[in-house]
A and B are shown apart, each in its own frame.
Chain A
Amino acid sequence: KQEVTQIPAALSVPEGENLVLNCSFTDSAIYNLQWFRQDPGKGLTSLLLIQSSQREQTSGRLNASLDKSSGRSTLYIAASQPGDSATYLCAVPGGANNLFFGTGTRLTVIP
């Protein structure tokens, strides 16, 4: 069974800092990986989807990389802002195209 782990569980950084969130998965036979953002008490917002044939994907200040062979993905956030404070979840698909989720990294950006 696929297991997804995210480290660290929580992260606090001062505004303006660049940061990296980590995601690892046990079964490398995936065809994509998706990063989500979840604000407290809210639903999930899709940030980036990386296909297995890609090594990275960028959207604004966000850059996600994927290394299937090592079972890892990273989400890089440049020049962090207080509005980036949220929980970030990574997820990989299973056999029914469902998603296996990590438990998330709770990010706090301090003004």
Chain B
Amino acid sequence: NAGVTQTPKFRILKIGQSMTLQCTQDMNHNYMYWYRQDPGMGLKLIYYSVGAGITDKGEVPNGYNVSRSTTEDFPLRLELAAPSQTSVYFCASTPPSGGGLEQFFGPGTRLTVL
């Protein structure tokens, strides 16, 4: 298994541009998450999904959108990039039983908005 994969690894955006961060997992996990990590800080939840077609907001959803059309993919969309969105973005997933089990993380996407 490749686990959780994310693309791109790095990206520089100009203010107002848009982009989609890709996340794919091949472990048949129901639950998927997007977190952001600002320098020197812990991770904060942006959006999550408990299965295909179901998404919900996390702690810091403003400026982002998500979709979940398949079990494997959970893309994160930035519509109008702002400098405050400069961060490292991590995608994660957990097995079908949900709670009580380990979360698996992707390698992250480092985004800079200038």
A44 contacts B50, C-beta separation under 8 Å:
no
Residues of B within 8 Å of A100, CB to CB, are 42
Interface string of B78-114 (1 = CB under 8 A from A): 0000000000001010100011111111111010000
A43 touches B107 (CB 8 A): yes
Does A93 count as interface, using CB distance less than 8 angstroms?
A: yes
- Number of contact residues on B: which range applies? 20 to 34
Q: How far is B42's CA from A99's CA once the two chains are assembled, in angstroms?
A: 10
Are A98 and B90 in contact (CB-based, < 8 A)? no
Residue pairs across A and B with CB atoms within 8 Å: the count is 66
Q: Of B31, B56, B100, B105, which is within 8 A of A44 by CB?
A: B105
Give min CB distance, A96 to chain B, whole Å: 5
DSSP majority for the A interface?
strand
Q: Are A93 and B42 in contact (CB under 8 A)?
A: no
A-binding residues in B (CB < 8 A):
31, 33, 35, 40-45, 48, 50, 56, 58, 90, 92, 94, 98-108, 110
